[in-house]
Amino acid sequence: MKTVIAPIDFSSASMNALSFAAELSKRGLAHLIVVNIIKEGESRDESKEKLNFIEADLKKTFGPGLKCGTHTSQGDLVSAMQEVVVIHKADLIVMGTKGASGLKRILIGSNTVNVLAKIKVPVLIVPEVAKFENFLLKGKNRIVLATDLDTLIKTDALDILKKIALLIHEPKVRVLNVRPRNTKIDFIRKMERNALLSIFSPEIESERTTVFSTNVIRGINFYLKKHMDIGLLAMIARDSGQLIQKHFTREMASHTDLPLLVMHDEK
């Protein structure tokens, strides 16, 4: 993980996500690029001035171990982010989501959904209620990888998850599969599950688990509510697949109050 991109609009949700991006970048020795995307007619100079202030504050808060810079771009979010990703060769995008007052759910805007769908770089979606300090606690170090156990097309699709996991205090990864009751996984999926577990071995403790449900999202949410030691949820977005497809990933991003890492497994 060499470069982390953090798009911000100066809202509290985006600034909270920026703290995640800064801490991950510092721990992972990555270069953080703070991005502000302005609309036509808005002042580029004003954007740069605000970003310079934020850059100075980040260096003061996180110390000399944080390498960071800024970037102002103009246009719609997806097109501008695609350009930024190419220019800076981004390995990870960190974005914030807004909490809905009075509701136990998180709202994700259409812009973020478009980023998930159209930009093939891993995206860490951070709800406004999530705090990076939770990763410092022993009780929140479980990472859940929800998967349909379809064979990965890209052998390095989960590299970013392992790199992030290694930055967490005593991480533990649980490979979660949701399937209907009274069903069994076939030999190929058993082999894929073993392959997923081996990705994290021997550096990270990992284990498998199953939830029986006819609805994938409901099964995942049931599991998350039953286990309070989870600090990060990870999912794989695919163009195809029987269970966890892109629309499932988007729906999950709309409801979880945990940071959600979305990775892509496409040619």
Q: Please tell me the predicted confidence (pLDDT) of residue 229.
A: 85
Give me the mean pLDDT over the 118-142 stretch: 79
Query: 136 or 213: which carries more pLDDT confidence?
Result: 213
Structural domains of the chain, with CATH: 3-129 (3.40.50.620), 134-264 (3.40.50.620)
DSSP string, 127-154: ETT--GGGGGSGGG-EEEEE---PPPSS
Give the global pTM: 0.89
Q: What is the DSSP letter of 229?
A: T
* Whether residue 259 has pLDDT greater than 80: yes
**Distance of alpha carbon 22 from alpha carbon 235, whole angstroms:** 22
Give me the mean pLDDT over the 242-253 stretch: 57
Q: Please tell me the predicted confidence (pLDDT) of residue 206.
A: 94
Q: Please tell me the predicted confidence (pLDDT) of residue 99.
A: 56
Give me the mean pLDDT over the 230-255 stretch: 68
Q: Please tell me the predicted confidence (pLDDT) of residue 242.
A: 42
Find out whether 208 and 185 touch, Cβ atoms under 8 Å: no
Q: Please tell me the predicted confidence (pLDDT) of residue 111.
A: 67
Strand partners, 62: none
User: Cα 46 from chain centroid?
Assistant: 29
Confidence of residue 267 (pLDDT cuts 50, 70, 90): low
Nearest CA to 151 out of 201, 203, 187 is that of: 187
Q: What is the DSSP letter of 38?
A: E
Give me the mean pLDDT over the 128-150 stretch: 79
pLDDT tens-digit profile of 65-89? 899 999 999 988 888 999 999 999 9
Tell me how far apart the terminal alpha carbons of the chain are, to the nearest angstrom.
20
Helix spans in 63-174 (H) = 77-88, 110-118, 159-165
Q: Please tell me the predicted confidence (pLDDT) of residue 103.
A: 40
* Whether residue 215 has pLDDT greater than 60: yes
pLDDT tens-digit profile of 87-116? 999 999 999 887 544 444 444 555 677 777
Q: Please tell me the predicted confidence (pLDDT) of residue 105.
A: 46
Q: What is the 3-state secondary structure (H, E, C) of 175-191?
A: EEEEECCCCCCCHHHHH
Give me the mean pLDDT over the 172-195 stretch: 93
**Distance of alpha carbon 87 from alpha carbon 143, whole angstroms:** 31
For 266, list phi and psi in degrees, rounded to 5: -140, 150
